[in-house]
Structure 1
Amino acid sequence: MNSITMNKKNRMKIWAVLFWLAVWQAASMWIGQEILLVSPAAALYRLFFLAREGSFWQSVAFSAVRILGGFFLALLAGILTGALAARYRNFRHLMAPLVMAMKSTPVASFVILALFWFSASGLSVFISFLIAFPLVYGNTWQSIVLTDQKLLEMGQVFHLSFWKKIRYLYFPQLYPNLQIASALGMGMCWKAGTAAEVIGVADGSIGERLYEAKAYLQMPDLFAWTITIIVVSIVLERLFLALLGWIERKNRGGVA
């Protein structure tokens, strides 16, 4: 039954993708000028051509390493500071203005400021960190604060160690919210990180390729690189969520 349900869901997803590809194709045919809107076939053909070049994969790797680096730094810092915020209310009050500034300040403002502090190649790390940190931080402290007090009291009765409390009491509470924060954060990091690369024109990055496509009016390249960003973002997000799921299952098995 589950496999049938999953297959139906997958068919619906394919149907939705095909629908919007058809809309894209119709819009391209109606406009009739590829310099304004290329067809899906032209974009995919250009993507296939670019993927045969070594420089394509170098640009993908360049951006992926830095954007993922910023995301994982935010994940680590967000969990640690979120735990402190859950434990110490004054620390939570202290962090509130900083987190609000991170959430409210436009990405372009951060990028321009960061250009005074970092090289263009480090921009996507910094911006990705700023985008993901508030999500991880907020979900972490809220999850810990909402942990069932009866479970905590039971942990004290059985004299659970610090690490066992984290594993058996806090992690099951944190996991669903961390999963949501990661899913949202990964996509947002890719959008903001590549935008930072475009503004900073980071050498060897996907952002530089997007900037060149815009500067030379290479619309097929622009769409091909956009498709690349979407696909890579989705693949890496699914891989990371699969890793989180594996950790959660191992932890649940340990509880049993």
Structure 2
Amino acid sequence: MKISIIRENKTISKLVRRTLIIIFWVFIWELSSLFINNEILLPSPKKVFETLILLGIKRYFWLSVFKSIIRVVIGILISIILGISLGIIAGINVFMEELLEPLVVTIKATPVMSIIIIALVWLKSSSVAIFTSILMCFPIIYTNVLSGIKSVDKKLVEMANLYEVKNKYILINIYLPSTKPYIISGILMCLGIGWKVSVASEVLSTPRYSIGLNLLNAKATLATEELFAWTIVVVLLSLIFEKIFRYYIKKVF
């Protein structure tokens, strides 16, 4: 009972602290807006949140958010599947690691804008964000999984082989438990990067319903308060995705 009360108090204290931190930065934002005194350069928090509420009652707002979420989810899921699968194979097979290394290094070194522009040539506008998210997130997952596989104690693998344990059991009981923290870390990084890259791709590819297109339209009409409102939406969605992932990871593992 006492432990439960202590935990509850800690949770409340943490929530209050975070709320105060948010209020502090909103206050700084308000002061900066008053000092600059130009709504086009820096709109006030009140103006931005009013705009956000007005956007929230419009159908195209929710369609844009929904379509962008779908693109991000597809891109991240494919990158996770590819990254984990190829990371495990490369970690076990040296030849596969050497074969994939030039590809991974090239993707890592290529500027995001170059990838987006190439994707614009190859694909239709609605697929550009998915393609770019995959290319940006895959190397992160792959590299993390590869590091996790290499961190496995070789003596455990040798012992398992000595007792003729089947490969699938070696994978499930030795490799996967060791790579779990690396996989989780990689996915958490991708959740943030995936949103940034996907929205940036939408800005250039301008699919009909997308957050990126709305950001571009807001910029074109100098509606800075709308630009800020959509940016807040992206930040909130990224944070929500991370919270959901952390919650289910605790449940599963």
- Match for residue 20 of structure 1 among 4, 25, 33: 25
SS of structure 2 residue aligned to 1:116: helix
- Match for residue 7 of structure 1 among 1, 9, 12: 12
The code of the aligned residue for 1:221 comes to E
- Pick closer, same or farther for the CA change 1:43–1:175 going to 2, 3 Å: same
Give CA-to-partner distance per residue, 1:200-242, whole Å, 9 cap, x none: 1121111110010001111111111000001011111221232
SS of structure 1 residue aligned to 2:98: helix
How many residues in Structure 1 have an aligned counterpart in Structure 2?
Answer: 248
- Match for residue 59 of structure 1 among 58, 61, 64: 64
CA contact (8 A) 1:182 1:241 kept: no
User: CA offset at residue 80 of structure 1?
Assistant: 0.8
1:152 maps to 2:151? no
Give the Cα–Cα distance (whole angstroms) in 2 for the partners of residues 163 and 236 of structure 1: 31
1:77 maps to 2:57? no
- Match for residue 127 of structure 2 among 113, 122, 131: 122
Give the Cα–Cα distance (whole angstroms) in 2 for the partners of residues 15 and 213 of structure 1: 30
- Pick closer, same or farther for the CA change 1:7–1:178 going to 2, 3 Å: farther
* Structure 2: segments with no counterpart, 5+ residues: 1-5
1:85-164 map, 5 Å = 85-153=90-158, 155-156=160-161, 160-164=165-169
* Structure 1: segments with no counterpart, 5+ residues: 249-256
- Match for residue 217 of structure 1 among 218, 222, 231: 222
2:73 counterpart residue number: 68
Q: TM-score, normalised by structure 2?
A: 0.91
Give the Cα–Cα distance (whole angstroms) in 1 for the partners of residues 48 and 128 of structure 2: 28
1:227 maps to 2:227? no
Percent identical across equivalent pairs? 31
1:251 counterpart residue number: none
- Pick closer, same or farther for the CA change 1:65–1:247 going to 2, 3 Å: same
Give the Cα–Cα distance (whole angstroms) in 2 for the partners of residues 159 and 4 of structure 1: 52
SS of structure 2 residue aligned to 1:147: coil
1:254 counterpart residue number: none
Give CA-to-partner distance per residue, 1:140-166, whole Å, 9 cap, x none: 011011112344355456765444433
CA contact (8 A) 2:90 2:146 kept: yes
- Match for residue 194 of structure 1 among 182, 192, 199: 199
CA contact (8 A) 2:149 2:175 kept: yes
CA contact (8 A) 1:210 1:225 kept: yes
- Pick closer, same or farther for the CA change 1:5–1:151 going to 2, 3 Å: farther
Give the Cα–Cα distance (whole angstroms) in 1 for the partners of residues 171 and 35 of structure 2: 58
1:252 counterpart residue number: none
- Pick closer, same or farther for the CA change 1:243–1:161 going to 2, 3 Å: farther
Could you say what the CA RMSD is over the residues aligned between the two structures, in angstroms?
Answer: 1.8
